[in-house]
Structure 1
Amino acid sequence: MRTSEGGRRAAVLGSPIGHSLSPVLHGAAYESLGLTGWAYTAVEMDEAGFPAWFAGLGPEWAGLSLTMPLKRVVIPLLASVTPTADVVGAVNTVTWTSEGAPVGANTDVHGIVQALRSTGLSKAPVGCVVGAGATAASAVAALAEMGCEHVIVQARTAARAGLPLEVAEKLGVAARVAPLDDHAAVLSADAVIVTLPGDAAGTWAGGLRESVAGPPAGSLLDVSYHPWPTQAAQWWSSAGGAAVGGFEMLLHQAAEQVRLMTGRSAPVEDMRVAGEKALASR
């Protein structure tokens, strides 16, 4: 039986980790929930050092939040993973059963779904994912949860799109690859999720702005959250579309982590206030 005397611990791990908002969000949740014996910290950790560190964790640990490059490294160290984490092939949350068995989950998908729903979108039969990395794979799974029947993956080359296409196949979603300048695909989608890093996303948004005159049909989620608004979000909103940023995704994935780690419903609005205050000071 997994037991612990005294306080409980949790942490976010990755490299680099100094920019993470997770300690602010989780700390606000603990304060609101009255979990005075809980502590949540940031731990700089690379792939090489993680297995030994993980093996040394004691019963005081309630959960881990994992960022890159650890979302795949952790999987062989776990007793089980949730169906969503298995499909996406990435774990961003670790908790332990009462018997001490480590379990992996993926709350990024939940965060993406909630962010899109915050724009008023309830269903997305046609989705467009801009980029083809690990976040793009989670984006495809999120779109599937929202009833997506066809997804367009925009990538520099078709060879780069293997990961999101694999997820689409597992979930029975028809998929095709399109170049990054296929703006017609973007404008016709019910939901567009931009997963490109900052500079690349800015270039993509610039091309969209220069070549398109008509309004977008659906909602846009740009997973970047600082600075905000991004170029893509600025154009989308000015053209009459609904746009939301990565903070909303981050907030809801963290709230789901709080629920998994503490067994309590997360105080989302208290977490939002703390996160927005921290971002405003950057």
Structure 2
Amino acid sequence: MGVFNRAAVLGSPIEHSLSPVLHNAGYVATGLEGWEYTRIRCEVEELPSVVGGADPSFRGFSVTMPCKFAALDFADEVTGRARQIGSANTLTRIDGGWRADNTDCEGALVALRELLGSTPVRNAVLVGAGGTARAVVWALREAGCERLTVINRSDRSAEFDELTEGIDVAFRSFDTDLQETTMQADVVVSTVPADALQGQAAYLGHAPVFDVIYSPWPTPLATCAASNGYPVVGGLSMLAGQSYAQFEQFTGIEAPRDAMRHALLRHWEQSR
């Protein structure tokens, strides 16, 4: 049977994207025939022509860096959460154009729930204040966060005002007492490259840790937290979690979450 519907992940570099593993596993698990999910290398300036010129068989695009801001600007319609977060990782074809959404925040929420179960997140520490951090803040807010300490090299609190409404937020530099700060936290979330925490991981690993990195894994922060007896979860959980809503928006069918997650983990283990 030929291909009737397509989706793809856009970005650069794109060769190692694991999104095809997730989405194609979803097609198989739900018995969707005639669906194909591929990778398309796309630079920022190329996104309007790639998406705008896509033939009607393309139902949606997953968007990775560096194209997430361009995706938001390109869209004809934008979800509230994508606008709040300030970037889009999902473009879905709609009547008359394309809708932008950000499902990274759902991925972060999936990871938090995997890490903590039903335990409330009242006090959180977030490392980093970039685009991924914004998606994590959305998830922390949904998880009931009341107090948030952001560890970052600069105070970017003004950029987070809308996202953190109702949360007591404090920006702190890396010169603060990181060990004392994290020992009071329900969770530590790191959104920065593993090597950016060189020399700091030992002070941050005093609470359950969600590190958005999945390669290399484990990160020094995850190792330190685990050695202190705390549970850890990595970026694969977020990667899987953000794909479910994408799958549903592209296909209109409920995502087979277990099948997609298991396919990702199996692929990851086999490729190491």
Task: State TM-score, norm by structure 1.
Answer: 0.88
Identical-pair percentage? 39
Q: Give, in whole Å, the separation in 1 of the partners of 2:223 and 2:166.
A: 33
* Aligned alpha-carbon RMSD (Å): 1.9
Find out whether 1:269 has 2:258 as its counterpart: yes
From the superposition, tell whether residues 166 and 48 of structure 1 become closer, same or farther in structure 2 (CA, over 3 Å). same
The alignment partner of 2:60 has SS state of strand
Q: Give, in whole Å, the separation in 1 of the partners of 2:24 and 2:89.
A: 18
Contact 2:85 2:163 in 1 (8 A): no
Match of 1:56 in 2: 53
Match of 2:147 in 1: 150
Gaps of 5+ in 1: 210-215
CA shift for structure 1 position 142:
0.8
**Aligned residue runs from structure 1 range 154-233, under 5 A:** 154-158=151-155, 163=159, 165-169=160-164, 171-181=165-175, 182-183=177-178, 184-208=180-204, 216=206, 218-233=207-222
The alignment partner of 1:192 has SS state of strand
CA shift for structure 1 position 186:
1.9
Find out whether 1:110 has 2:106 as its counterpart: yes
- Counting matched residue pairs gives 267
Task: State TM-score, norm by structure 2.
Answer: 0.91
**Counterpart among 239, 242, 249 of residue 260 in structure 1:** 249
CA distances 1:250-278 after superposition (whole Å, capped 9, x unpaired): 11111221111111111222212221222
Gaps of 5+ in 2: none
Contact 1:140 1:167 in 2 (8 A): no
The alignment partner of 1:52 has SS state of helix
Letter of the 2:42 counterpart: M
Match of 2:126 in 1: 129
Contact 1:10 1:40 in 2 (8 A): yes
After TM superposition, where is structure 1 displaced by more than 3 Å over at least 4 residues in a row? 166-169, 206-209
Contact 1:137 1:167 in 2 (8 A): no
CA shift for structure 1 position 9:
0.6
The alignment partner of 2:68 has SS state of coil
Contact 2:244 2:255 in 1 (8 A): yes
